[in-house]
Amino acid sequence: MKNIIYNLGIDLTLDIIEGKWKTSLICWIGQKDRRNGELLNLMPGVSQKVLTQQLRELESDGIIQRTSYGTVPPKVVYSLTDDGMELRQMLVDLSIWGEKKASHLNDNGDHIHITHDSSEIIPEENPTLKLLEQ
């Protein structure tokens, strides 16, 4: 049992998603259940060691679940829990905000490139995306 004091709830949220790849993992796994190799392909630059570590941390925090099938070769699939899906929606909203901010900064002479846009991680019927496109 942990005894930790946070100033605000967002501090706990940031503690859970702290790590270079965790937010991307949550977004990609939330789009559809993913296997390890798929995640490596979607996130060039992440090492197998770091990927495994961050997946384990997210599993420990109750954000993702790991399903292992007793097959040879081994098959492991990662999916989001209900808490993970709720957190993911907030991260998608932050991603959309970041895309808009990058566009404004680029209009002012910056050179910001975002590899994947929010349309790749959310279904077309997402109401948040539809509102932003209007």
The CA angle 105-106-108, to the nearest 5 degrees, is 65
Q: How far is CA 99 from CA 6, 21, 40, in A?
A: 30, 18, 23
At residue 123 the predicted structure's pLDDT band, cuts being 50, 70 and 90, is low
Alpha-carbon distance of 80 to 31, in angstroms, equals: 9
H helices within the chain, ranges in order? 9-17, 22-31, 36-42, 48-60, 82-107, 127-133
| CA pair distance 47, 52, nearest whole angstrom | 9
CA 108 to chain centroid, in Å, comes to 29
Q: Report the predicted TM-score, pTM, of the whole model to 2 decimal places.
A: 0.84
Thinking of the domain 9-131, which architecture would CATH place it in?
Answer: Orthogonal Bundle (1.10)
- Share the mean pLDDT of the chain: 90
Q: If pLDDT is split at 50, 70 and 90, which confidence band does 2 have?
A: confident
At 126, the pLDDT band (50, 70, 90 cuts) reads: very low
Residue 40 pLDDT: 97
Of residues 114 and 128, more confidence is placed in 114
Residue 122: predicted pLDDT: 75
Lowest mean pLDDT among 83-87, 101-105, 108-112, 113-117: 113-117
